Chain A
Amino acid sequence: MKSKISLAFKNCKKENRTALITYTVAGDNTKNNSLKILKAISKHADILELGFPHNTPIADGGQIQESSYRALKNGIKLEDVFQIVKRFKNIQPNKPLILMGYFNLIYQHGEDNFLKNCKKSGVDGLIIVDLPWPENKKFARKCKKKSINFIQLISPTTSHNRMKKIVRDSHDMIYYISMLSTTGGKLKVSPRKILKNYNKIKKINSKKNLVIGFGITNKTINSLKSANGLVVGSMLCKTISNSLKKGQNPVTKLDKVVYNLKNKIL
């Protein structure tokens, strides 16, 4: 049986467009609102990434840090994250949802227990920022056994030889980090160059769904739309921060921003 993640990409290919992938943080700005946000943006997005926040994130820029700290201040726990996923999946069972975060939370929760809760709540995939290949081999295999996608990351510093091994061990989706940056950095590499690297990875195995993330906003998204999928994260976190500062409703704001992003790539 094909995974929901695979089906989402297949659907996009049929419509001849890139998949829009969003990243928001669970519990930002409240547990309820983060669920409402998922519901609202899932009308436009093809795949949803949901961050489970950590207070010592070594690869996140200012915007995602701000969202994470806000969520943690509100007392978000992994248990709540799974609740949010579950409630979302009750309404939208077919929309793929990927959890993203740092390994220590999984380590403390217990790998098997974590995967059990993923399965129970309906998580489709995992991105673990600080568990690179080959350190992730064992855990990725566990994920596969539970039909949960473990999403491998590739970066501009990844050698070709290493790339081949990562692609070989990947599941349905691979994430290409566009540039040397934490999340939320300004796109400092030309889209042409990013796509050149993108194509190098595609050449290794064209069947793997490859998405690009980091530095993608409404301003840059159009230039990369030949990719299988594009991830927008920091821009959404920033939207939440700004709407809170202005006393606006973050849910309706985000609905609009993601709608606009979608229109840019149609």
Chain B
Amino acid sequence: MMQIKKGIPFIDQHNKEYLYGGKFGGNFIPETLKKPIDDLTKLFSKLRKNKNFLKERDYYFKNYIGSPTPFIKLENLTKHVGGAQIYAKVVSEANGGAHKIYNATVHCLIAKKAGKKFIVGDTGAGYAGKMLSMAAKKFNLKCKIFMGAKDIKRQRPNVEAMKKNGAVIVPVKTGSQTLVDAVSECMRYWVSNCDTTHMCVGSTVGPNIFVKICAWSTSQISRELIVQLKEEFGKIPKKIKLINCVGGGSSAMGFWNEFIDTDAEFYGVEAGGPKKSKLHAAPLSNGSKIGILHGAAQYVVQDKEGQIGSTESISAGLDYPGISPLHCFLKDTKRAIYTSVNDEEALNAYRLVSKLENISPSLEPSHAFAEAIKFAPKLKRSDVIVVNSCGDSLKDKDIIKSRLGYYIR
């Protein structure tokens, strides 16, 4: 039976072939990438044990990213919805406006240690790209971002930010012109330029080392939350419910990682797509089969032949057919529960939270809020829900306006 081991970092619970639970993840990569990935694997395993590197990381997390991000009670939402007490970890207060800054910063630090002068990355919602361009600028690296042409159109504010930071944006026009194509194109670019260039994968997906670096970086979120919970409640509340949206899964992994050995409950919320559409981006909650995408085995939206399937979601950041091998492992060990929320429910949650509270979640975390809003009334007053508000709605202004007729923040 597949099992999570206690006392061992979750990201290290793979076998010799880098498979979690014997079947998720791995390195399904072209021969050319074997050595760069080996080199990166060795470098990272050294760095994460190196006290100076950890000091450096903590320094930038604090002074550049702005750690810790706030932990607040959503009094009005709690009152409005009834049931459990709803809190938010306002990760959107991090520099740049989303959790993607942790991974981007760590990748830039690693690229520096590796002596690389160029860094490339993929982006969907544009946050991963924006953050990488920011961090690259800070650490003096030349930056190139791959982004689907459809996403360039629907996530303008982040595209503008990338340009301002001096990044070259490569529009990807193959396939669905969304995140999945951006990741493919970025990997292809790396195959051709791996001798001079460092690659940052924008979520906990891709060959194993990228899954690891990303989850290791975003775990800062749960490290902070544990301290904040103890301040608020004196201890970690029993059976606390941690609700997070999942696209590739980096935000959720970071939100949960330090809680794995506790009795906190994890709820992952996938993008269900438009209410009236068969398309979705929810491989975990829609019974997708295991397949290989971007170098890793995972549950993935695909057809019988193994062609990767089309997805659809109002949220560009969740619009991805695959999911982190770590979440596949959490699902199959029943450590986390995965559900999906449709576009309309997410929009409604955005509206409600923005109206009632001082925060305004982007469409990705709005999926998590929608789940919290459905869930809270079924719980008791003594129950505690924490939602990771991992992105700010500003980037979705155009989409929200066109759907609701107005935008509030």
Cα of A177 to Cα of B30 in the assembled complex, Å? 10
Contacts of B188 in A (CB 8 A): 58-61, 182
Contact bitstring A15-43, B, C-beta under 8 A = 1, else 0: 00000000000000000000000000000
Counting contact residues on chain B (CB < 8 A from A), the size range is 35 or more
> Given contacts A153-B31, A180-B194, A180-B195, are A105 and B187 in contact (CB under 8 A)?
no
B334 at the interface (CB under 8 A from A): no
Interface residues of B in 181-219 (CB under 8 A from A): 184, 187-188, 191-195
**Which residues from A are CB-within-8-Å of B36?**
157
CA distance A106 to B292 in the complex (A): 10
Closest approach, in angstroms, between the C-beta of B194 and any C-beta of chain A? 6
Is B64 an interface residue, CB under 8 A from the partner?
Answer: no
Q: Is the interface of A mostly helix, strand, loop or mixed?
A: loop
Check if A206 is an interface residue, CB within 8 A of chain B.
no
In the complex with contacts A103-B28, A182-B192, A162-B302 CB distance below 8 A: no
Is B248 located at the chain interface by the 8 A CB criterion? no
A130 — nearest CB in chain B belongs to which residue?
A: B28
Interface stretch, picked from B80-88, B276-284, B303-311, is B303-311
Contact flags (1/0) for B304-320 with A, using CB distance below 8 Å? 11111000000000000
- Determine whether the beta carbon of B28 is less than 8 Å from that of A55: no
Neighbour of A157 across the interface among B194, B295, B297, CB < 8 A: B194
Assembled-state Cα–Cα distance A72/B310 (Å): 14
- Do A104 and B292 touch across chains, with their CB atoms under 8 A apart? yes
User: In the complex the two chains form, what is the Cα distance from A182 to B28 in whole Å?
Assistant: 16
Given A132-B29, A177-B32: A58 and B306 interface contact (C-beta under 8 Å):
no
By Cβ-Cβ distance, the 4 closest A-B pairs, closest first, are A108-B306, A157-B35, A155-B32, A104-B292
Footprint of A on B, CB under 8 Å? 17, 26-36, 174-175, 180, 184, 187-188, 191-195, 289-295, 297, 302, 304-308
Q: What are 11 A-B residue pairs whose CB atoms fall within 8 Å in the complex?
A: A56-B294, A58-B191, A59-B30, A60-B188, A102-B292, A105-B307, A107-B297, A131-B28, A162-B35, A177-B32, A185-B192
Q: Which residues on A are within 8 Å of B, measured CB to CB?
A: 54-61, 65, 69, 72, 77-78, 102-109, 129-133, 135, 153-159, 162, 177, 180-182, 185
